[in-house]
Amino acid sequence: MRLNASNLRETSAALDLACRLTHPADAVLREFFRARRELGSHDRAFIADTVFAVLRHKRLLEAIVPDPTPRRLAIASLVKLQGMSIGSLQPLLAAEDRDWLLQVRTADTESLPPAVRLSLPDWLWERLVTQYGEAEAVALGRALLQPAPLDLRVNTLIATRDEVLQALARDGIQARPTPYSPVGIRLAGKPAINRHPLFTRGAIEVQDEASQLLGFLLAPRRREMVVDFCAGAGGKTLLLGALMHNQGRVYAFDVSDKRLNSLKPRLKRSQLSNVHPQRLASENDTRVRRLAGKIDRILVDAPCSGLGTLRRNPDMKWRQSPQAVAELKAKQRLILWSAATLAKPGARLVYATCSLLREENEDIVEEFLATHPGFRSVDCQEVLDAQRIDLPTGPLFRTYPHRHGTDAFFAAVIERQA
């Protein structure tokens, strides 16, 4: 699209709100666009792309842009990151803009410290280096600066993956199967898929491929009793229901009415009748106690720092802190300990996060196993191999954007001994 004074002004205004970091960026933009319904789809896409580009590279841009106001950050992003020439912006620039923009365009970013170059807070960079080593941390950091692809999950109750791919091709939407998930599709670009008939009739849902794989780690079977303990808006819940061929019972537990309300239209589209959303007052709700020792499969996709999803949620790295992670660890421990009470003898429990940090992942699982002698670890590789999912992962499930092209997820499979 052609940039003009109006959409540059609106972009700067949206960026000003997003950079306050008081709310998630996607929520900020949603409210921003709701108040400006006159903006067309191209304007909205341009504003959103620029805001997210700045949030991804915020620390780098602030290091090379003099007096980094929202307007300057937006312009610098367009020139340094999004390929616009200074000449094409000339009609929109003030007299003093050209000098600092030339400085930005020629800035030697490779000489900056890695945490600045990769736009990561120091505390996070230090933990990534400690955990992965510097070379791997750099590769991971670079991948986290890239926008995520748009992945879909096929609802196999309604259509096959081949049928969905054929329908998308007929409509001129480029798509291909995901390399690991047997029900995943990856789109080229970001078409408005939520208006497509496949979406409106429930044949597809938007879901990252790694998130889909959690359902295959749990591997629920027909007629089983299953709990999605932190169901949220229900993306994984719906996958579990479909894997069970709409038989048995899936409880979708969450403490948030708002998140469970978001599940309702998705559940209606899915044509599933075996999913039962229930709001919990806490992880020790009476509903949990009533089901103690009765559940076959339990998914705990625990609340976490979300640092594995920085391609989609780049503001997360600026809104998280070591203190917040410590608080999340305490919450994760409580949730996992409570969810485990649901397990009947022989039951499978999957603990998962979209965090990069060992303290939210391996440390939680190791502590659980050390304090729960009736449970044992199950090799994730064996679980995936049994379903012919060709993903080399090892005993614990790990995916990364630079290795697998997915969000970074962690999971452990745990079994209550019979």
Band of pLDDT at residue 92, cut at 50, 70 and 90: confident
Model pTM?
0.94
Provide the sign of the torsion angle of the four alpha carbons 395, 397, 403, 404, taken in this order: positive
How many Cβ atoms from other residues are within 10 Å of residue 309's Cβ?
Answer: 23
pLDDT in tens, 252-274: 999 999 899 999 999 999 999 99
Averaged pLDDT of the chain: 95
Is residue 191 within a helix (H) or strand (E), and if so which, with residue range?
none
Under the banding of pLDDT at 50, 70 and 90, the label for residue 1 is: low
pLDDT band at 69 (very low <50, low <70, confident <90, very high): very high
Is residue 3 within 8 Å of residue 92, measured between CB atoms?
Answer: yes
Band of residue 72 on the pLDDT scale cut at 50, 70, 90: very high
For residue 264, list its beta bridge partners.
none
The per-residue pLDDT for range 228-255, each reduced to its tens digit, is 999 999 999 999 999 999 999 999 999 9
The pLDDT of residue 82 is 85
For residue range 275-325, list pLDDT tens digits in order: 999 999 888 888 889 999 999 999 999 999 999 999 999 999 999 999 999
Pair type for strands 249-254 and 275-279: parallel
**Distance from C-alpha of 242 to C-alpha of 264, rounded to nearest angstrom:** 16
Q: Please work out, in degrees rounded to the nearest 5, the angle formed at the alpha carbon of residue 44 by the alpha carbons of 43 and 45.
A: 90
Task: Give me the mean pLDDT over the 137-158 stretch.
Answer: 97
Band of pLDDT at residue 44, cut at 50, 70 and 90: very high
Determine the Cα–Cα distance for residues 220 and 65; give it in Å rounded to an integer.
52
Over residues 203-232, the mean pLDDT reads 96
Q: Which positions are catalytic?
A: 354
Per residue in 346-380, pLDDT (tens digit) is 999 999 999 999 999 999 999 999 999 999 999 99
360 close to 377: Cβ distance less than 8 angstroms: no
Residue 254, classed as helix, strand or coil, is strand
Strand partners, 278: 253
Sign of CA dihedral 338, 215, 245, 268: positive
Residue with tokens 């080229």: 188
Instruction: Locate all alpha helices (DSSP H) within 57-184, ordered by sequence.
Output: 58-64, 70-76, 86-89, 97-105, 114-117, 122-132, 134-144, 161-170
Sequence-distant (6+) residues with CB within 8 A of 375 are 340, 343, 349, 368, 369, 414, 415, 416, 417
Q: How many CB atoms are located within 10 Å of the residue 284 CB? A: 13
> What's residue 228's pLDDT?
97
Per cent of the chain over pLDDT 90 is: 86
**Strands 225-228, 343-353: parallel, antiparallel or unpaired by DSSP?**
unpaired
For 90-107, what is the mean pLDDT? 88
pLDDT score, position 45: 92
Question: How many residues would you count in the chain?
Answer: 418
- Rounded Cα distance between 315 and 395, Å, is 32
List, in order, residues 6 or more apart from 131 with CB less than 8 Å away.
137, 356, 357, 358
**Between the CA of residue 248 and those of 9, 197, 239, 265, 410, what are the distances in Å?**
54, 29, 14, 21, 27
pLDDT, average across residues 102-106: 90
CA dist 276 and 295 (Å) reads 14
- C-alpha 122/C-alpha 124 separation (Å) is 5
Give the residue-averaged pLDDT of 150-159: 97
